[in-house]
Amino acid sequence: MANTTPLPIVVAVIIIAIAMMIWHYVRAGQILEHWAKDNGYEILSSEHRWLRRGPFFWWTGRGQEVYYVTVRTPDGKLRRGWIRCGSYFWGVLSDSAEVRWDE
């Protein structure tokens, strides 16, 4: 007799995996938005970086996300830099955000 997995279980696993991926990226975006708000910045542009992670290339955990952003500071100046959302061990379950500005 062949060992088959019932279709409803396979579908449920796929749906759960997709939901977790969506939540992960939404959560990373929320961390980015909270970081900007807490520092008085207006985000003018943000690019999610999959491979080119700038100064965070070597030390970014699997659960962290990196963005390249352009912001307007409270005094009206433009700044560009890299934001890493989440912590190394806890990923986006953590509220942490670390910035490295372009100089």
pLDDT 10s digit of each residue in the chain, 103 long?
556 768 888 899 999 999 999 999 999 999 999 999 999 999 999 999 988 889 998 888 889 999 999 999 999 999 999 999 999 999 899 999 999 999 8
Tokens found for residue 80: 């560009």
Closest CA to 27 of 68, 79, 82, 87: 87
Is residue 86 a contact partner of residue 67, using CB atoms and an 8 Å limit?
no
Query: Which pTM does this prediction carry?
Result: 0.85
Give the contacts of 71 (CB within 8 A, at least 6 positions apart).
36, 41, 42, 43, 44, 78, 79, 80, 81
Q: Please give the pLDDT value at position 3.
A: 65
